[in-house]
Amino acid sequence: MIFCKSKKAARRTLDHILPYIEGKLFLRVNREKTKVSHVNYVKYLGYSFYIYRGEGRLRIHPKSIQKLKDKIREVTGRSNGMGIEQRRTKVNQVVRGWINYFKLADAKSLLMKLDEWLRSRIRMVTWKRWKKIRTRFENLKKLGVSEEQAWMWANTRKGYWR
C-alpha cells in the first residue's frame, strides 16, 4: 500500500514504482489487484481505513462483520449437534478471537451494536429451544418473572426476534 495526497500523485507514483518492484526486486505485481483509490475504499486484512481530523484511522470492514455474524449463526444454529455449554464456549471463543484480532480498530459503537445483535440471537435460540407454551411458562417462572407476565410472554404470537 502506498498512500499519496492526490489521485494524480498516486498514479504517478504507481507508474514509477512498478518498474522498480518488477525490475530491481524481481517481484510480480498483479495488475488486476493493483489500483489507485481513495483511502475509504481500501480493504486490507479485514480492516478498512478512514480519515478523521487529518489522521488515518482503522475500522472494521463490513465484510468482516458479516463473516462474524455468519460464523455465530453457524455456531448457534440448532442443527450443529452441540449442547448449550459447548455452544456458549464456542461463541465465546469466536467473539474473543475476533475482538482480539480487530482491537486496533475504532469500533466502540460497532461493538455495542454487535453485542445487541448477539444477545438477540441468544434469546432467539433459547426461545426456540423452549418451543412449547408450557415450557416457556415454566422456565420464565424459574427466572423470576411474575406468573401473569410469564403466561403473557409464553403465549405471545410474535416472532422470535421481537
Domain ranges of the chain: 7-60, 131-162
Q: What secondary structure does DSSP assign to 102-157, as a single string?
A: TTTS--HHHHHHHHHHHHHHHHHHHHHHH-SHHHHHHHHHHTT--HHHHHHHHT--
Strand arrangement of the beta sheet that strand 47-52 belongs to: 43-44, 47-52, 55-60
Residues 2 and 12 sit within 8 Å (Cβ to Cβ)? no
- Please tell me the predicted confidence (pLDDT) of residue 56: 81
d(CA 14, CA 1): 10
Place 158 in a pLDDT band, splitting at 50, 70 and 90.
confident
Digit-coded pLDDT (tens) for 90-115: 999 999 999 999 999 999 999 999 99
Digit-coded pLDDT (tens) for 26-55: 999 888 888 887 777 778 898 888 888 888
Based on DSSP, count helices (H) and strands (E) in the chain, helices before strands: 6, 3
Residues 59 and 29 sit within 8 Å (Cβ to Cβ)? no
